[in-house]
Amino acid sequence: MTSPLSSAQAARTALATRLRHLRLDAGLAGHQLSLACGWHPAKTSRIENTRAVPSDADIRAWCAACGADGQAEDLIAAARSATSMYVEWKRLNRAGLAGLQQEIVPLVERTRAFRVYCSHVVPGLLQTPAYAAAVITAYGTFHGAADDVEAAAAARVKRSKVLHKRGRQFAFLIEESVLHSRIAGPETTAAQLEHLAELAGLPQVSLGIVATRAPRPLWSMESFTVYDDVQVGIELLSARVTITAPGEIATYERAFADLAASAVYGVGAMALIRRAAAAHG
């Protein structure tokens, strides 16, 4: 697997390269561009070496100094795209936990084929209200953003209505350890496992479980979702990463396919779920 940060870094590098080429095409040395823009030469160096992401105003000033005002808006769009590829949770949490849940609704609504791999908890689209509240509470407590858990849990469960909309297909893969997680209490977890078994019976849903003791082609990794074949969303501890580069999307598609080939389905999956439910009492 490639690093989930590589798409974001590649986008930032591409932006820095375009800005540097503008300066060179204009025949300007770094200190000359810095003087024209009214900032310290070190700032130009940081931008060109991807140690700093330029603001909208920085890009407009850069283009003006290079006589390339017509390219400013395109470069600003590229900068915003690069910034959105890697977004720290502490920044996303500013809108509240409920806002964080609602933000992804447009992407979910326009997606027709979902491939979801979860290594730690039951996938959001399959969660019960009580289980969702437990997961969001744990997340919010760790990140210091636990002020609207109920609204966030309700928004997450509401989003799961997409499971019953026509024209969608869902392939879920979870690690067996997810079934035994103690992120929620025994009763909540038992109810969640029952709900999981019910949803696995839907014709549009495929649920695979990667058994702990079974031979496998890959280790467990960060949870990720492939939306159609155009975007991958990855959840790291510190940030959310969005991948749109075709080559990297293909890497996650291949990882999903490899794990799916070693998972158990149907009767085998139900046996693991029942065993876990019994363990939760």
pLDDT block averages, 10 residues each, the chain of length 281: 59 90 96 96 94 91 96 85 72 78 91 97 97 94 83 93 97 98 96 97 98 92 94 87 81 96 97 95 75
Distances (CA, A) of 146 to 50, 97, 122, 123: 34, 7, 20, 20
CB-based contact 280:193 (threshold 8 Å):
yes
Q: What is the pTM of this model?
A: 0.76
Location of structure tokens 């979801």: 116
Q: Of 253, 275, 254, nearest to 264 (Cα)?
A: 275
* Domain 96-279, CATH homologous superfamily name and number: Endonuclease Chain A (3.30.870.10)
**What value does the CA radius of gyration of the chain take, rounded to a whole number of Å?**
23
What pLDDT, on a 0 to 100 scale, did the predictor assign at position 53? 82
Q: Strands across the sheet with 169-175, in order?
A: 86-88, 239-243, 231-235, 224-227, 113-118, 169-175, 205-210
What pLDDT, on a 0 to 100 scale, did the predictor assign at position 9? 75
Return residue ranges of the chain for CATH 3.30.870.10: 96-279
Burial-class residue 86 by CB neighbours within 10 Å (0-12, 13-18, 19+): buried
Tell me how far apart the terminal alpha carbons of the chain are, to the nearest angstrom. 38
CATH fold for domain 6-84: 434 Repressor (Amino-terminal Domain) (1.10.260)
- What type of residue is 145? A
Return residue ranges of the chain for CATH 1.10.260.40: 6-84
What pLDDT, on a 0 to 100 scale, did the predictor assign at position 2? 45
CB-based contact 105:159 (threshold 8 Å):
yes
What pLDDT, on a 0 to 100 scale, did the predictor assign at position 128? 97
Bridge partner residues of 224 (DSSP): 117, 234
